[in-house]
Amino acid sequence: MSETSRVLIAQVPAAGGEWGRWRQIHYNAAVIEQFFQARANSNQRIFLKEVRLDGSLGPDEVRPIVYSSSNKNYKIEVSSRPGVGYPANGRPIIVLREVGVRNFLYMLLLPSDAPYNGILSFLDANASVGKGTMKRVITDSTHLKDIWNDCPLVE
């Protein structure tokens, strides 16, 4: 990869523990403004495409940013890992690489996935963006390649 692009690495909360709802990923206002550069509850959409661990691609996903007044968070839903429940131990981690205006490739890592521990160590070693207990770090594709050498998002 010759050009450096912005990357967000973020822990995924359980979203009330309901089956399947955890893929409605919650973010704080700072992440929405600084990384996604979009407004919630507007006509703006986020364009996503999953890159799986084997390098295969998921379908195009066009998503709104929804603001939840009940928990004061913003959420963007992803289609990754259908039928998989929230892990009993550890939090999933989403890794997103910006490829255009509000256009992102992403991977959703579970604690059982090989790259998980290296990505978690990176999160633990860096300051989180914005408020909240979930770690959210904005970095770039060069740093991502340093911590996960064969990451399909940056090959």
pLDDT digits (tens, 9 = 90+) for 31-59: 999 999 988 778 889 999 999 999 999 99
In a domain, 1, yes or no: no
Number of structural domains (the chain) is 1
What mean pLDDT comes out for the span 79-88?
88
Q: What amino acid is encoded at 141 in this protein? A: S
In a domain, 54, yes or no: yes
Residue 106 is predicted with a pLDDT of 98
pTM of the model: 0.93
Q: What's the CA gap between 99 and 118, in Å, rounded?
A: 23
Residue 136 structural domain: 6-154
Banded model confidence at residue 1, pLDDT cuts 50, 70, 90: very low
Question: Under the phi-then-psi rule, with left for phi > 0, alpha for psi from -120 to 50, and beta for the rest, what region is 121?
Answer: alpha
In a domain, 36, yes or no: yes
CATH of the domain at 118: 2.40.330.30
Query: What are the C-alpha distances in Å from 62 to residues 47, 50, 77?
Result: 5, 12, 9
Model confidence over 117-152: pLDDT tens digits? Answer: 999 999 999 999 998 889 999 999 999 999 999 999
Nearest to 71 by CA among 8, 21, 120, 7: 21
In a domain, 73, yes or no: yes
In a domain, 128, yes or no: yes
Model confidence over 10-30: pLDDT tens digits? Answer: 999 887 655 567 888 989 999
Residue 38 is predicted with a pLDDT of 87
